[in-house]
Amino acid sequence: MKRLLAVTFVFVAASALAQPYPAKPVKILVPFTPGSATDILGRLVADQFSKSMGQPFVVENKPGAGGIVGTEAAKNSAPDGYTLAMAGSGPFGINPGVYSKLPYDPLKDFELIGNIALTPQTLVVGAQQPWKSLKEFVAAAKAKPGEIAYASLGSGSTSHLTMEAFQSAAGIKLNHIPFKGGAEGQAQLMSGTIHIMSDTVPGLLNQLKGGKLRALAVAIPERSPFLPDVPTAAEEGYPGFVSVGWIGMAAPAKTPEPILDKLNTEIKKMLASPEAKQRFVQLAFTPVGDSRAEFRAFMAAEIAKWSKVAKESGAKAD
């Protein structure tokens, strides 16, 4: 009888430990400020996952140091699937090339779950500025080397390296002013203190629609369906200038494979739902929904690409 009770106890205990994931609320760390493209997408994912998986998925913003603060916090979290990270092109693709002592390795310290969306970079100026085209802006920058200031979402961010790449492509020299997030940079553009910046379409859309900012070009080969009247950089004379931000999801290294696979499946299910499709269009995101292996290969290629840009431009964020 004692042996039977002991076996029964072990079986019950094991069953309790093997509850279907998720069995409690899940935290999604966003390494940028509220209102950024990463935050917007993170909240959309949290809402969809909460509905489909039956547990709350809660966004926690941890901005700072080009996304390092929140990304490092995710790296140091328990690998149990209950702390996830929004993995964007800045912290995961660009930081390895601009920080000499980055406190995490995107490919070693994380399990990559999947790429969720693409967000093309767009060059914008304040509506009060005189430049109506990218060519006009470049002419002004060449006339005043180092005097025209550009904002970024922080040293090492996608917006920072995008502008470094553009300076190289256009043969101009600008003055870099980093901020903690897109909202701060945009406010300076609208006040006229800063002259230009690069940011994602989702992060800029409201201010562009409101006429407070003016888009000069999108950094993709073809025009964006969300900004059909805005020319590409290639149309303005810079065919090699391409910068596409991306946002996926990651978990701390050693998170169990079944949890990772389940989350990847949930991403694909979310992207296939009519509700999410409509929201992606409204928010100007281009859906991806790749496999875990595809996301890893894509990220490795992006790290190599942006490390080359950083080396050639001399961009550093230490």
Q: What is the 3-state secondary structure (H, E, C) of 224-255?
A: CCCCCCCCECCCCCCCCCCCEEEEEEEEECCC
| Number of CB atoms found within 10 A of residue 219's CB | 23
- How far is residue 230 CA from its own chain's centroid? 22
For the chain, list residues with pLDDT below 70.
1-18, 318
pTM of the model: 0.80
Strand 196-200 with 110-126, pairing: antiparallel
Place of tokens 């205990």: 13
Residue-wise pLDDT tens digits, 91-111: 999 999 988 889 999 999 999
- 178 DSSP β-pair partners: 152
Inter-residue contact 83 to 74 (CB < 8 Å): yes
Domains and CATH numbers, the chain: 24-118+246-313 (3.40.190.150), 120-218 (3.40.190.10)
What pLDDT is recorded for position 8?
40
Tell me the one-letter amino acid at 87. Answer: A
What pLDDT is recorded for position 318?
67
